[in-house]
Structure 1
Amino acid sequence: MKSFILLLCIFLISGTLISAKPIRVGVAGMTHDHINQVFDYIGKQQDVEIVGFAEPNKALAMRLLKSHNLPETLWFPTLEALIQQKNPEAVCAFNSIYEHLAVVETCAPKGIHVIVEKPLAVNNQHLALMKALVEKHQIHLLTNFETTWYPSHAKVWEMAKKEKSLGTIRKVVFKDGHNGPIEIGCSKEFTNWLTDPIQNGGGAIVDFGCYGANIMTWLMDGQKPISVTAVTSQEKTSVYPKVDDEATIILKYPACQAVIQASWNWPFGVKDTEVYGTSGIVIANKEANMRYIYGEGNKAEKWLDLSALPNEQSNVFSYLAAVVNGKIKPEKDLSSFAVNSVVVEILSAAKESAKTGKTIYFSR
């Protein structure tokens, strides 16, 4: 009996150790300033091991690795070289939106999962090629948004979908922007492609328009809007001569509307989601509490204290590990391929609408 108990304990401990083994993750590109997420994460959690950085600009790679006290041996000139030598289970892309497709083309045939920085793809053509690769090779293709990890958005979902305390959603207003990537001191390597209409697909309409498109598609369970109408402008042509710096997108659904305000002209950074329902209003952002207005006639108001999210839902790397290990199935969550495919279609329609001055209708 004692021998059996000892063997059982060894089995359970071994199983725990196996399940706790970190997934091997490579990084494709280092020109996106959001790569600081990687450096901030290294050494703090045990669910992901960063095995290497693939970046053709060696000087950039060496500068970043040195500034974070990481060995030069983590650098690889190409993603192929990194994969061949380090055999990652997943790859995070921190390069231009246009280059996301090349990352998927390299990883998918090898069965390597991919997560890219927002948005998923630069246009519908790239999206179609990605979709074919995902379906053929059965990989996870995910998209990372800062706003995904806000406890407030999880609470909005709970109130809207489970508690039904907001009633029927009639309008959602998204305010996402700051005073411009150059103005806030983004790196030259980042702004070189972020302000390029080919590499980024647009300016503020893409950079900040994607947040609202992502959250709204999630709230609508992946449903596409009936129509998309957008207006863009260039208020700072001397700073951003090639792309828009101001954009407004209106999404029409059967029972509600969404207004997405995206800007590189505001005095400070804002990421607010205002949800207007028939029974209540909530205003969500990255703060630890959320304003809730409710009641008919004589309205009531209170601030909701927000609980911390579970580890695998609180940051991109723990989430990625949970997906790769099969603990989370990203069917229609904020990072899923299904939701972010619609985001790309919305942004493409918004750019067409802004260019032509016409409302773009989705086929039903």
Structure 2
Amino acid sequence: MQTDFIVSREDWSLHRKGYLDQQRHQEKVEEAIRKNLPHIITEENIILAGGSKIVKVPIRSLEEYRFRFNLNQGRHVGQGSGHTGKGTVIAREGDHRGGRGTGAGDQPGMDYYEAEVTLEEIEELLFRDLELPNWQEKKKPRQAAPAYEFRDVRRSGIMGNLDKKRTLLENLKRNARLGHPRIGGFKPEDLRFKTWEERIRQESSAVILAMMDTSGSMGTYEKYIARTFFFWMVRFLRTKYEQVEIVFIAHHTQAREVTEEEFFSKGESGGTRCSSAYRLALELIEQRYPPQDYNIYPFHFSDGDNLPSDNEACLELLQKMLPLVNQFGYGEIVNPYYRTSTLMNVFKKIQDPRLVTISIKEKSDVYYALKQFFSHRERKRAL
């Protein structure tokens, strides 16, 4: 009798191709987000919509790696003609067709499409390396939400806490003692239940004093930059920290504590006295947030166009505040002429590692401001 054998020569690696392509696609998306992050986080459809929009990111089309030869070059070998010497010009910029310096190009471009990404994906990449710097354990930690842990096993309890693994082991051991090592014939004495304990966690507290200049010199662009920074700062703090309070302070010639909604939506006008915000911040520290109980982080954003006679008052108040805080961050939104303001000149006089300053000249600088202010790495002041 003849027996037929069928030998399968199917390449099983092809079954993983769909998964591999999906993985490569996800890597491409993440790479595109990472490269475009400084521009993505300043998108108006995110900031003005309260973070509820899905963002579209351009992604280059995925292609398999392959060699591509230029047929106009004749022979396709990796060597020269042998008549070159030292100093011989091989090519000049713009010699290739479609390159810069040749006018309108005649070569096809690179295909790309827009991938939709959620705000959570952006936050995961943006907040990955951020943390509050110079964090300290305080004398009076606050009680955080209780945590529940399963730490014991008992013979009685509710069926929702039944420990199936230990119940099976007890049943097996009981049957083995009777000479029938098997699983089955369960009895009440076989049941084991997990029991949980409430554990109270103590965490150090922190307060963020968010100060924003809302004077007449802060135009639409300047206010948008400041609100963009504080928008991402608030989301970062509420994502990574439980025991962090945020106090919103708006100021022109006078400073006042406002609600979060007013801080991000209400516009004002008038002159500028930055010292009013610093004076109010000091009062809040003295009355509500003592340094022995709180990690304190004031952040101030302004265009730097402060009343000249007020600069010395700012310097004096800031010098009083620095010993009380973990870090003071000052972000200055530079005007179109990129001149250095009088307020930034005043801050240059202070040599204290707790003072961190940064100048913002374009929207993408908001990303670097977040990295500068919330970096755990040792940094230098960026003036």
* TM-score between both structures, scaled by the size of structure 2: 0.28
- Structure 1 or 2: more strand by fraction: 1
- Structure 1 or 2: more helix by fraction: 1
- Find the structure with the greater CA-based Rg: 2
Highest RCO, 1 vs 2 (Cα 8 Å, sep ≥ 6): 1
